[in-house]
Amino acid sequence: MSAQSTPATLIDGKAFSVALVERVGAAVARLESAHGVKPGLAVVIVGEDPASQIYVRNKGETTLRAGMRSDTHRLADTTSQDELLALIAQLNADTGIHGILVQLPLPAHIDASVVLDAISPDKDVDGFHVVNAGRLAVGLPGLVPCTPLGCLMLLKDQLGDLSGLNAVIVGRSNIVGKPMAQLLLGESCTVTVAHSRTRDLPDVCRSADILVAAVGRPEMIKGDWIKPGATVIDVGINRVPSADPVKAAEGKTRVVGDVAFKEAVEIAGRITPVPGGVGPMTIGCLLANTYSAACRINNIQPEPLDA
Ligand SMILES: Nc1nc(=O)c2c([nH]1)NC[C@@H]1CN(c3ccc(C(=O)N[C@@H](CCC(=O)O)C(=O)O)cc3)C=[N+]21
């Protein structure tokens, strides 16, 4: 393993997101004063998963900070699929609501793909509707999933032009891996999507100028899988027992990424920390998407929100 002479630059997603939310807030204020449109985001959560409750609360607070309307619908985990679909139909028809987010995962008795595809594609601020996935795949304008969009913003801010770079994405989910691949292809990267069946995964990762880890396995990507100087984007948010055995025995946890950070920071050129990297960008991009949805629904040209 050939270590870099200096540790990697940390990519501060938290600071970037704070600035992004400020730009969204300024654009929202102008949208309201010039056109009388106040963007509204509805978040729907089914059941009581404590981690989900925290995300939903953070989203609600940040939405208000950007000057938008924020509605949270908390439904019992016994809610039927038809009841959930009825709420979505009501939100689709509500002219004060421009973004609808149904928090995942949903209880097992509900078919998530049916629910996500019931959201109007124009209000689908998660970008999970099959129509938005198709638009992204063929290069049409649409709503893009927040996490990969946030990763792309960080990469462009750090590296500028990405064309010709080798990008390796580890993970092929519809939520991160696949849309990330589409976005990086759109930037003219040479894209490889690796996954659990990929042969010689460490070698594939070592070919990456840009390595995006989105597998959901704590610290799976080791330092010697990284090309010296590469840019590493760690999408993983994994809760593991505290490093301190006494605290771990008390049930205390800590959050780690999909990358073995301590090793990786000695090899990579730039890396996102966990927490404070990609996670905050997801919420920033959710608000950016809600703003642009409000503009497009009202036939208004959105202001650019890039740095
Ligand atoms: N329809 C839907 N859309 C989502 O976007 C969605 C979802 N369902 N279900 C749950 C996941 C999770 N998620 C996170 C967003 C931000 C942070 C975040 O900001 N994390 C901070 C704090 C991490 C911590 O300390 O817990 C950080 O990484 O720095 C985390 C997780 C959005 N999700």
167-214 pLDDT, tens digit each:
999 999 999 999 999 999 999 999 999 999 999 999 999 999 999 999
- Give the percent of the chain with pLDDT over 70: 99
Q: How far is the CA of 300 from the centre of ligand 1 (A)?
A: 30
Strands 253-256 and 238-241, by their bridges, are: antiparallel
212-252 pLDDT, tens digit each:
999 999 999 999 999 999 999 999 999 999 999 999 999 99
Tell me the CB-side half-sphere exposure of residue 93, using CA atoms within 13 A.
6
289 lines ligand 1 (CB under 6 A): no
171 among annotated binding-site residues:
yes
279 among annotated binding-site residues:
no
Q: How far is the CA of 53 from the centre of ligand 1 (A)?
A: 10
* Ranges of each domain in the chain: 36-120, 145-279
Q: Whose CA is nearest to atom 4 of ligand 1?
A: 103
Catalytic residues: 59, 103, 126
Q: Whose CA is nearest to atom 1 of ligand 1?
A: 103
Q: Which of 104, 237, 261, 272 to mutate to test the pocket of ligand 1 (most atoms within 8 A of CB)?
A: 237
Query: Pick the residue with more confidence: 151 or 2?
Result: 151
Mean pLDDT throughout 120-139? 98
137 lines ligand 1 (CB under 6 A): no
142 lines ligand 1 (CB under 6 A): no
Q: Measure the CA angle with vertex 118, ends 112 and 119; round to 5°.
A: 100
Whether 36-120 shares its CATH topology with 145-279 is answered yes
Q: Which of 12, 55, 129, 271 to mutate to test the pocket of ligand 1 (most atoms within 8 A of CB)?
A: 55
Mean pLDDT throughout 117-130? 98
User: What CATH class does 36-120 carry?
Assistant: alpha beta
What whole-number distance in Å separates Cα of residue 255 and Cα of residue 102?
A: 24
256-285 pLDDT, tens digit each:
999 999 999 999 999 999 999 999 999 999
Residue 31 in this model has a pLDDT that exceeds 60: yes
Report ipTM (2 d.p.).
0.98
10 lines ligand 1 (CB under 6 A): no
**Where residue 3 falls among pLDDT bands split at 50, 70, 90?**
low
What whole-number distance in Å separates Cα of residue 306 and Cα of residue 106?
A: 32
Q: Whose CA is nearest to atom 20 of ligand 1?
A: 279
- Ligand 1 atom with the shortest distance to the CA of 101: 1
Tell me the CB-side half-sphere exposure of residue 182, using CA atoms within 13 A.
23
Q: How far is the CA of 92 from the centre of ligand 1 (A)?
A: 24
Q: How far is the CA of 105 from the centre of ligand 1 (A)?
A: 12
Handedness of CA 171, 196, 239, 175 (dihedral sign): positive
For domain 145-279, the CATH superfamily is NAD(P)-binding Rossmann-like Domain (3.40.50.720)
Between 52-61, 150-159, 260-269, 284-293, the lowest mean confidence (pLDDT) is in: 52-61
Q: Please tell me the predicted confidence (pLDDT) of residue 2.
A: 55
